[in-house]
Structures are given as C-alpha cells and as structure tokens.
Amino acid sequence: MKVILKQDIKGVGKKDQIINAADGYAKNYLFPRNLAVPADTGNMNNLKAKKDSENFRKGEDRKASEELAERMKNITLVFKVKAGENGRLFGAITAKEIAETLKKDYNILVDKKKILLPEGIKVAGTTKIEIKLNEGVTAKLTVTVTTL
C-alpha cells in the first residue's frame, strides 16, 4: 500500500515521502498514530501543492538573498580599535561585532553564525569576508580595521 509520511520515521522514511508499506503496518500502526495518510489522488494533489509552494518560497528567498548580496558587495565596514606595535589588535573583531555593525549602520540582519570568519580579525588592515546568506548564495564584504 502506498502511503505519504506525515513526519520522519526512523528506518522507514522522511516527512512527505511516498513509500510502499505493508497493508497491516499502514492500517494498524501508521494511520492510527497519524504518522501517514493513504497516497490517494486528493492527498497526492495536496502534497504536490505543498511542494510547489515550498519551491516558490525558496525561489523568492533566493532572489532576496541575491539582491542583498549585490547590495553588500559595495559595503565597507570600518572599525577603529586600539592596537599595539606592528598593528596587532588588543582583542579581535568578531563575527558578532560585524553582524551588530551591519544591523546598526545598514539595517541588514545577518546571523553571526553565517559570517564565515573562523577566528576574529586580529590585525589592522583591509579584509574580505564572506557571508553565507542562502543555499548557494554568498556575499562578499570588506572590513577595514584602523588603529586609534
């Protein structure tokens, strides 16, 4: 019997996946626990509509991310910090500080975990960093660190 899973079931399948289940397993376990629905035409149409709307939403999110990446290409963040001899900073410029500055100065919300900066910027100068905005969309941002 073909069924559409309503949630992930370990060893059986993922949510919204169509599987072949034994009749007894489907009728006695999956249906009573509301884990699956029969794969009839009505449920198949609902699943198709759900996937279409999800793909549309992903496409819209991707377009918005690409526009934001284009906008961020021209942004240069400037940090003025204290530094010791030979340009080494006291501390470091972290992803959190970069995210806060983007929000404050440009009203751009970026999760600090999406900023690809393995360790903070510890030297004065100009650095190019990448920000992962969406699946397959990254923005390049220039960060300039000057000393006081």
Average pLDDT, integer, range 59-88: 90
**Main-chain dihedrals φ then ψ at residue 101, nearest 5 degrees:** -65, -40
Contact present, 99 and 111 (Cβ < 8 Å): yes
Closest CA to 94 of 114, 128, 122, 133: 122
Strands 2-5 and 88-93: unpaired
pLDDT for 105 equals: 93
Which helix or strand (DSSP H or E) is residue 121 part of? strand 121-123
The CATH homologous superfamily for domain 2-64 is Ribosomal protein L9, N-terminal domain (3.40.5.10)
pLDDT score recorded for residue 85: 80
Number of H helices, E strands in the chain: 3, 9
Report the predicted TM-score, pTM, of the whole model to 2 decimal places: 0.73
Percent of the chain with pLDDT over 90: 82
Domain ranges of the chain: 2-64, 66-147
DSSP β-bridge partners for residue 132: 138
pLDDT digits (tens, 9 = 90+) for 78-101: 999 988 887 788 889 999 999 999
- Tell me: the pLDDT tens digits for 12-36? 999 999 999 999 999 999 999 999 9
Tokens standing for residue 148:
């006081």
For residue 60, give both structure tokens.
């819209």
Q: Which CATH number fits domain 66-147: 3.30.2130.10, 3.30.390.50, 2.40.50.140, 3.10.430.100?
A: 3.10.430.100
